[in-house]
Amino acid sequence: MTLLELEGVTRTVELPDDEPLHILRGVDLQVSVGDHVSIVGRSGSGKSTLLNLLGLLDNPTEGSIRFDGKLISDMSANQRDRARGRDVGFIFQQFNLLGGRTALENAMTPLLYASGKQFWRREQIALEMLDRVGLAHRAQSMPEKLSGGEQQRVAIARALVRGPRLILADEPTGALDVETGASVMALLDEVANTSGAALITITHDANIAALARRHYRLDRGVLAPVDVNRVLALAQPEVTL
């Protein structure tokens, strides 16, 4: 079942007194329920712009985006916001944890916008998710008292507490050492598999990208599939991403 579909998507920015800047050029992508897709690309290739489109944060200049069969362009801003809050979980490289808030309070934040049982059970749900990522014993710890890997796990718990159908991991291991990064990706894959969520990893690290089941490279705004051997070849020292 297709969860997310991009067809002929472009993103162009008009610049004063200059030629238009074409950031994305005719991007086609289908992501199914339970899929794990990686997108690798060098800095300036359009990864951040594509992430905003995948996360329902922006509209394309041309082309169409469907989420769960519904055209994003037909949704109002409020409908898109609700769909994003309910169905999309973001995991960022820099964690973006709230200072002065415990790990539990950080993980619980998205549930403050939930309704019904999710809202009233928000503390229990967040604690269960922290336990799932191995941090129940650090629930009352402040972010500055946590290691980088622990902070990332809190960020993962926060992204997953509402049971998103799409998980977007933006350079999820960029601030971590190799061993912790591999552990984080294994956890993400496990959680996605268990919940049936689709996982899209956007990274410059070819080794992390190779862990996905389907692989793409974004180059100068053009997205193209690439086989796993080619992805790994991109990790060689002489190649600059």
| Residue (of 96, 101, 103, 118) closest to 162 by Cα position | 118
Name the residue among 84, 93, 82 with its Cα closest to residue 155. Answer: 93
Q: Which tens digits make up the pLDDT trace of 99-147?
A: 999 999 999 999 988 888 889 999 999 999 999 888 999 999 999 999 8
pLDDT confidence tier of residue 239, bands split at 50, 70 and 90:
very low
pLDDT of residue 237 exceeding 70, the answer is: no
Task: Return the pLDDT at 205.
Answer: 81
Classify domain 6-93+158-233 at the CATH class level.
alpha beta
Place of tokens 């169409």: 64
Please give the average per-residue pLDDT across 42-68, as a whole number: 91
Q: Read off the tokens for 193.
A: 């598999």
Q: Which of 64-68, 80-84, 177-181, 221-225 has the lowest mean pLDDT?
A: 177-181
pLDDT tier for residue 233 given thresholds of 50, 70 and 90: confident
Mean pLDDT to the nearest integer, 45-60: 92
Is 111 in contact with 122 (CB distance < 8 Å)? yes
Overall residue count recorded for the chain in this entry: 241
Q: Which residue has the higher pLDDT, 191 or 87?
A: 87
Question: What is the pLDDT confidence band of residue 228, given thresholds at 50, 70 and 90?
Answer: confident
Please tell me the predicted confidence (pLDDT) of residue 240: 45
Higher pLDDT, 145 or 210: 145
Nearest 5°: the CA angle 103, 105, 106 is: 65
What's the pLDDT score for residue 231?
Answer: 67
| Top-confidence residue, 44 or 151 | 151
- Location of structure tokens 């309910």: 86
71: helix, strand or coil: strand
Lowest mean pLDDT among 68-72, 199-203, 232-236: 232-236
What are the tens digits of pLDDT across the range 148-185? 888 888 998 999 898 899 999 988 877 677 777 777 78
